[in-house]
Amino acid sequence: MSMLPVIRVAPVTAELRPALLQLRVTEAQRDFVGDIEPSLTDAECCPGSLPMTILRDDGPVGYYRIELHPGTIAGREFDLPALGLRTFFIDHRWQGQGIATSALNVAVDDVAERFPQARLLVLLVNGRNLAALRLYLRARFVDTGQLYHGGRSGPQHLLWRALP
């Protein structure tokens, strides 16, 4: 009987960083996510960002960052204490295996535990990035119907998920 892979998340460490820098998305996804190196470098320099690793059986397969100031993502404040999710992706070699759905649920649980005062997790997803939009909706994010027009690749949907 085969064991299912364990998906977990952890803050980026110096030991994980070289492997993270090898992760890539498909060419079609680059407009939406970009390359990891600029995001990782920016997150490591920004006291309001927490860069996170997605691990499959202890090997890095993805990345995202948590923003302590969600206004930096959506260009607005929220009525409830909120955090932002940015640059969530799974390496192209691991896509299509259900890892993104598992990782997103694990990430939401981790955020709720790590930041118990937060009530919302917010993100933006490009209107043309239908695969990501489906992923977030499957993970119980709600499309607010509001569009953010400040993105480099066109209008983005504002989504949120209530945290326990």
- The residue ranges of every structural domain in the chain are 7-162
On whether the pTM is more than 0.85, the answer is yes
- Does residue 62 have a pLDDT over 60? yes
Burial class (CB in 10 A: 0-12, 13-18, 19+), 128: middle
Tens-place pLDDT, residues 78-131: 899 999 999 999 999 999 888 999 999 999 999 999 999 999 999 999 888 898
CA distance 20 to 106: 18
User: At how many degrees (to 10) do helices 99-114 and 130-138 cross?
Assistant: 60
**Architecture of domain 7-162 in this structure:** 3-Layer(aba) Sandwich (3.40)
Q: Which helix (H) or strand (E) is 130 found in, with range?
A: helix 130-138
pLDDT at 73 (0 to 100): 83
Report CA-CA distances (Å) from 46 to 54, 79, 103.
20, 24, 24
pLDDT at 42 (0 to 100): 92
pLDDT at 153 (0 to 100): 65
φ/ψ (deg, to 5) at 27: -55, -40
- Does residue 49 have a pLDDT over 50? yes
Tell me the pLDDT band of 151, cut-offs 50, 70 and 90. low
CA distance 125 to 157: 5
